[in-house]
Amino acid sequence: MVGLSATGGWGRGAHLPAMAAAGGFELRGLVAQSAASGAAASAVHGAPSYASVEELAGADDVDLVVVTVKTPLHRDVVLPALSAGKPVFCEWPFAVDRDEAEKMTAAARGLSTFVGLQGRSTPTFRWLAELVAQGYVGDVLSASVLSTAIEWGTPVSDSMLYTLDRTQGATMLGIAFGHAIDPALMVVGELGDVVATTAVRHPHVPLGRTGRMVAMTADDQIAISGSLPNGAVLSAHQRGGTAGGPSFSMIIDGTEGTLEATAGNHPHLAPVSVRGARKGEKLTALSLPPAYDRFPRLAGSAIHSLTHAYAGIRDELHGHRRTVPDFAHGLRRHRLLDAIVESAATGRRVDLRPQASAQSHHTS
């Protein structure tokens, strides 16, 4: 694991527990920020600390490199691991921008890769996708997504200042919106085009409790709409810096019924509740069939979805079918984020169909 600390962080707090819960993984090495922090992490976690990613990925007993460092560092960590011929699991946001995502995806050809959009592994979203595919709502007419984050407007720590900079890839568009829209699109299908309006409504935010204000260039309001494969309309609004807590909701209306999914936090971290109604009925709570949840004892925990993702990674590395999104999927998401930025800047609808996207990128 690259980015594993002795004291905290997402690697220690989420990835290691998820690996342990999924089973089949053993920590064989780590790379930390410095030699001193590496020695401390090695003492805590009982695995050798390597001086570089190249040395870690080159070790014979390393079968998978997990990248949990900040987004702006992903490329310089991922490319050496791929050069060593090792499968890589990279956290989301995958890259700073689409160009970086394209370079890493091209370098990964022939290797197993995984990207940390773990909402796609959430049992409830996989169930919702099957309900829609099986015709619970009939022909989908529309899908509406509302996602709320308290960050990007509320006080920020020194270590998270980079998330305020729209050039660093770890903004609300990439993190909160990316994690919200990805499982939603798994349920209803990919967007064929998008038109977007964005705004920075908190141009300055407090730096902790220092009394200082720091500049923010990352958008804290993102509203989009676009067409789904069957011609239905999807609309989504990501809100940042709100006074209330984080939340998520999705409503799917169809010719035969309605489905509603809600969460009291970001949907890849929090339990997702579902209500449904067929024609003429009132919305009532629907229960997740037990077969979808491989780790029911973790339901309600922040590592529930991530543990399912690790189980999928383990299974794929043992020759089973792919269930966890790969680098190519991460690139697809970055193309959507790039199109949102382009549409907001130009006021035009952007075509997301593969041929149109390739031509648009070539001419730019």
pLDDT tens for each residue of 138-151: 999 999 999 999 99
Q: Per-residue pLDDT averaged across 59-70, rounded?
A: 97
Phi, psi of 95 (to 5 degrees): -145, 170
What's the pLDDT band for 356 if we cut at 50, 70, 90? low
Question: Does pTM surpass 0.85?
Answer: yes
Question: For position 208, what pLDDT does the model report?
Answer: 96
Cα 208 from Cα 157, distance rounded (Å): 5
Name the residue ranges covered by the structural domains of the chain.
10-111, 119-298
pLDDT digits (tens, 9 = 90+) for 145-181: 999 999 999 999 999 999 999 999 999 999 999 999 9
pLDDT > 90 fraction of the chain, expressed in percent and rounded: 96
Q: Does residue 264 sit in helix, strand or coil?
A: coil
pLDDT digits (tens, 9 = 90+) for 16-53: 999 999 999 999 999 999 999 999 999 999 999 999 99
10-111 placed in CATH 3.40.50.720: yes
* Joined tokens for residue 67: 């990248």
One fold for both 10-111 and 119-298? no
Distances (CA, A) of 195 to 108, 120, 191, 207, 234: 31, 24, 11, 33, 11
pLDDT at 362 over 50: no
Question: For position 355, what pLDDT does the model report?
Answer: 65
* Joined tokens for residue 153: 């407007």
pLDDT > 70 fraction of the chain, expressed in percent and rounded: 97
Nearest C-alpha neighbor of 120 from the set 302, 329, 364:
329
pLDDT digits (tens, 9 = 90+) for 98-135: 999 999 999 999 999 999 999 999 999 999 999 999 99
Phi, psi of 272 (to 5 degrees): -110, 125
Question: For position 26, what pLDDT does the model report?
Answer: 98
Helix (H) or strand (E) holding 182: helix 178-188
pLDDT at 363 over 90: no
What's the pLDDT band for 364 if we cut at 50, 70, 90? very low
What's the pLDDT band for 354 if we cut at 50, 70, 90? confident
pLDDT digits (tens, 9 = 90+) for 211-250: 999 999 999 999 999 999 999 999 999 999 999 889 999 9
Nearest C-alpha neighbor of 317 from the set 1, 12, 88:
88
Q: Per-residue pLDDT averaged across 297-303, rounded?
A: 97
Nearest C-alpha neighbor of 1 from the set 69, 79, 73, 72:
69
Q: Per-residue pLDDT averaged across 66-95, rounded?
A: 98
pLDDT at 265 over 50: yes
Question: For position 292, what pLDDT does the model report?
Answer: 98
Q: Which CATH architecture has domain 119-298?
A: 2-Layer Sandwich (3.30)
